[in-house]
Copies of this chain bind each other. A is one copy, B any other.
Amino acid sequence: MKLFTVGPVEMYSDTLNVASKQLPYFRTKEFSDIVLDIQEKFLKLLKAPQESKLILLTASGTGAMECAVMNGTCSKDKILIINGGGFGRRFCEICRIHHLNYECLNLKFGESLNEDKLMKFSGKGITKLLVNVHETSTGQLYDLQMIGNFCKENNISLIVDAVSSFLVDYIDMEKMNVDMIFTGSQKALALSPGLACIAINPKMERFIMENNVESLYFDLKPYLVNMKRGQTPFTPAVGVILELKDRLDNLYNYGIDFIVAEHKNKADYFRNEIIKLGLTLPNYPLSNGLTPIIFTNGKAYETFLEIKEKYDMMLTPNGGELADKVLRVGHMGNLTKEDYDNLIKCLKEVL
């Protein structure tokens, strides 16, 4: 089964090799050194400002979303959520559950985010902005530089869900004024699921260290204190951390520009072929992480099933109201031009 999913994705043989080994005990200097090295490389790939910190949280991406909101905001904040799909809605739900003061910039399916829409919230006392930079349910990529500029002008702290965007889209934490950003292990990192990585700049660290969080597991203060020596307060997903170390060592040699360009090449190649097939892509800007194919005939889910059963290829179906309308093809993980050629051949046959 070839995975064109958005997590877990096709893993690299190096990762599987790491995963096949006996795990070490982790309360040691040796493991601390690994964690500190991960922090350094991860922050460099994000172009994080000096003195930024990384937190390794054993949880799904949704755990990281909730943890980010709980630590990065407080009851005094006025929060703006860019809500353009399933994951924007999830941010709204988290804020509702935690009784936070929030409003939404709602985007209907197919609608792009632009400066005019953002500017309506200028001068309205917003203090925090939450955005899924790549709204994975639709594939829309928001202009993070534009959002970051808006936040800077309005003195807003910016919290970014980059779960399906880290490594595939260009992110510069410093230049884009990002205060907190997080991803999950099973996306473009192509590791086992179960580990979330949360990066914060010094301003956000100061906020977190003063903030009261009513949770033991999700309170980031002890994570920050433990990270000084490369440790976590609770037993982490040791296996995924070792996979991450191996992967970052590799990625670090290439540099983020090269890595993003590689993903863009794959996405562009596939999209060109898709258009040749007469299929429809959305008009909004797309992440390099996945291609959403619009099925005007309402046969998105049917096509997903057929490709899975007949050709052993796993695309990513949508849930809810987009289930029959949008079928997503991932560009994360160990996928080659040949894999896309095969997929296009199958799509041709099915359509």
How far apart are A247's CB and chain B's nearest CB, in angstroms?
15
Q: Which residues of B contact A90 (CB under 8 A)?
A: 216
Partner of A235 from the list B7, B17, B66 (CB cut-off 8 Å) is: B7
Q: Which residues of B contact A192 (CB under 8 A)?
A: 23, 192, 237-240
Q: Does A193 contact B (CB under 8 A)?
A: yes
Q: Which residues of B contact A28 (CB under 8 A)?
A: 314
How far apart are A220's CB and chain B's nearest CB, in angstroms?
14
Told that A58-B58, A59-B59 touch, could you supply 16 new A-B pairs with CB distance under 8 A?
A3-B24, A8-B23, A16-B21, A19-B239, A20-B20, A23-B193, A62-B234, A63-B217, A65-B216, A66-B216, A97-B216, A186-B235, A192-B237, A193-B235, A193-B239, A215-B215
Q: Which residues of B contact A233 (CB under 8 A)?
A: 62
Cβ proximity bits A1-12 to B, threshold 8 Å, 1 near / 0 not: 101010110110
Rounded to whole angstroms, the CA-CA distance of A190 and B90 in the bound complex is: 34
Chain A residues numbered 227-267 whose CB sits less than 8 Å from any CB in chain B? 233-240
How far apart are A77's CB and chain B's nearest CB, in angstroms?
17
Q: Does A347 contact B (CB under 8 A)?
A: no
Q: Which 3 residue pairs across A and B have the least CB separation, nearest first?
A: A20-B20, A194-B237, A192-B239
Q: Does A26 contact B (CB under 8 A)?
A: yes
Q: Which residues of B contact A8 (CB under 8 A)?
A: 23-26, 235, 238
Q: Which residues of A contact B (CB under 8 A)?
A: 1, 3, 5, 7-8, 10-11, 16-17, 19-28, 58-63, 65-67, 90, 93-94, 97-99, 184, 186, 192-195, 214-219, 233-240, 314, 316-317
Known A58-B63, A63-B59: A24·B1 in contact at CB below 8 Å: yes
Interchain Cβ contacts under 8 Å between A and B, 27 examples? A3-B24, A7-B235, A8-B25, A8-B235, A23-B186, A23-B193, A27-B317, A58-B58, A58-B59, A58-B63, A58-B193, A61-B234, A62-B216, A63-B234, A66-B215, A66-B216, A90-B216, A97-B219, A184-B235, A186-B235, A192-B239, A193-B237, A194-B237, A194-B240, A215-B215, A217-B218, A237-B237
Q: Which residues of B contact A240 (CB under 8 A)?
A: 192, 194
Q: Which residues of B contact A20 (CB under 8 A)?
A: 16-17, 19-20
Determine if B60 and A235 form an interchain contact, defined as CB atoms under 8 angstroms apart.
yes
Partner of A60 from the list B62, B184, B217, B317 (CB cut-off 8 Å) is: B217
Q: Which residues of B contact A98 (CB under 8 A)?
A: 214
The SS class assigned to the A binding surface is loop
Q: Which residues of B contact A5 (CB under 8 A)?
A: 25
Rounded to whole angstroms, the CA-CA distance of A94 and B59 in the bound complex is: 18
Nearest B residue to A17 via CB reads B20
Determine if B217 and A59 form an interchain contact, defined as CB atoms under 8 angstroms apart.
yes
Q: Which residues of B contact A65 (CB under 8 A)?
A: 216
Q: Which residues of B contact A25 (CB under 8 A)?
A: 1, 3, 5, 8, 314, 316
Determine if A94 and B22 form an interchain contact, defined as CB atoms under 8 angstroms apart.
no
* Residue with the greatest number of chain B CB neighbours at <10 A, chosen from A24, A63, A238: A63
Q: Which residues of B contact A58 (CB under 8 A)?
A: 58-60, 63, 193-194
Q: Which residues of B contact A195 (CB under 8 A)?
A: 194
Nearest B residue to A308 via CB reads B28
* Residue with the greatest number of chain B CB neighbours at <10 A, chosen from A61, A94, A240: A240
How far apart are A99's CB and chain B's nearest CB, in angstroms?
8
Determine if A214 and B59 form an interchain contact, defined as CB atoms under 8 angstroms apart.
no
